[in-house]
Structure 1
Amino acid sequence: MVNILVPTDLSELSKASVQYAVKIVNKLGGTLTLLHVMTMLSPTRTAMRQRAKALEKELVETAQEDLEAFAHSLSKQVKFPDPIRCRVVVSASSFTDTVRKEARKQHTGLIVMGTHGASGLQKVVLGSNTTTLISASAVPVLAVPEAAAFKGFRNMIYATDMRHLDKELKMLISYVENFNTTIHMVHIASSGRQAVVAEEKLEEAAARSEYKKIVTIVLVDTNLDTALDQYIENSKADVLAMFTHGLSFYEKLFNRSLTRRMAFHVKIPLLAFKH
Structure 2
Amino acid sequence: MKKIIVPVDFSKHSEDALKTAAFIAKKQNAEIIAVHMLELSNAIISQSESYSQQEAVFYLKLAEKKFIEFLNKEYLKEIKVTPIIKHYKIFSELNALAKEENAELIVMGSHGIGGLKEIFVGSNTEKVVRNSSVPVLVTKDTPILSNLENAVFACDFTNEDIKPYQEAKKLLSKLGCKLHLLHVNTPYGRFKSTKETQKKVVNFLTKANETLETLHQVQHISDYTVESGILEYANQHNMDLIVIATHGRKGLSHFFEGSISEDIANHANLPVMTFKI
TM-score above 0.5: yes
TM-score, reference length from structure 2: 0.84
The answer to whether the aligner puts 1:255 opposite 2:262 as a matched pair is yes
CA contact (8 A) 1:35 1:86 kept: yes
The answer to whether the aligner puts 1:177 opposite 2:173 as a matched pair is yes
Aligned ranges 1:102-141 → 2 under 5 Å: 102-141=97-136
Residue equivalent to 1:82:
79
TM-score, reference length from structure 1: 0.84
Residue equivalent to 1:145:
140
Residue equivalent to 2:24:
24
The answer to whether the aligner puts 1:268 opposite 2:273 as a matched pair is no
Partners of 1:86 and 1:18 lie apart in 2 by: 12
Question: Which residue identity lines up with residue 37 of structure 2 in the other structure?
Answer: V
Residue equivalent to 1:241:
243
Partners of 1:63 and 1:211 lie apart in 2 by: 54
CA separation of 1:255/1:168 partners in 2, compared to 1, >3 Å: closer, same or farther? Answer: closer
The answer to whether the aligner puts 1:51 opposite 2:86 as a matched pair is no
Answer with 101-110 or 5-14: which moved more. 101-110
CA contact (8 A) 1:141 1:272 kept: yes
The answer to whether the aligner puts 1:221 opposite 2:233 as a matched pair is no
CA separation of 1:58/1:29 partners in 2, compared to 1, >3 Å: closer, same or farther? Answer: same
Residue 186 of structure 1 deviates from its aligned partner by 0.9
Residue 273 of structure 1 deviates from its aligned partner by 1.2
CA separation of 1:8/1:209 partners in 2, compared to 1, >3 Å: closer, same or farther? Answer: same
Answer with 187-196 or 56-65: which moved more. 187-196
Q: CA RMSD in A?
A: 2.8
Partners of 2:257 and 2:8 lie apart in 1 by: 24
CA separation of 1:31/1:194 partners in 2, compared to 1, >3 Å: closer, same or farther? Answer: farther
Q: How many residues in Structure 1 have an aligned counterpart in Structure 2?
A: 264
Residue 70 of structure 1 deviates from its aligned partner by 0.9
Residue equivalent to 2:155:
160
Q: Flag structure 2 segments of 5+ consecutive residues without an equivalent.
A: none
Partners of 2:259 and 2:193 lie apart in 1 by: 19
CA contact (8 A) 1:195 1:218 kept: no
Q: Flag structure 1 segments of 5+ consecutive residues without an equivalent.
A: none
CA contact (8 A) 1:22 1:81 kept: no
Residue equivalent to 1:209:
210
Residue equivalent to 1:194:
193
- Three-state SS of the structure 2 residue aligned to 1:255 is helix
Answer with 32-41 or 141-150: which moved more. 141-150
Partners of 2:125 and 2:257 lie apart in 1 by: 13
Answer with 190-199 or 29-38: which moved more. 190-199
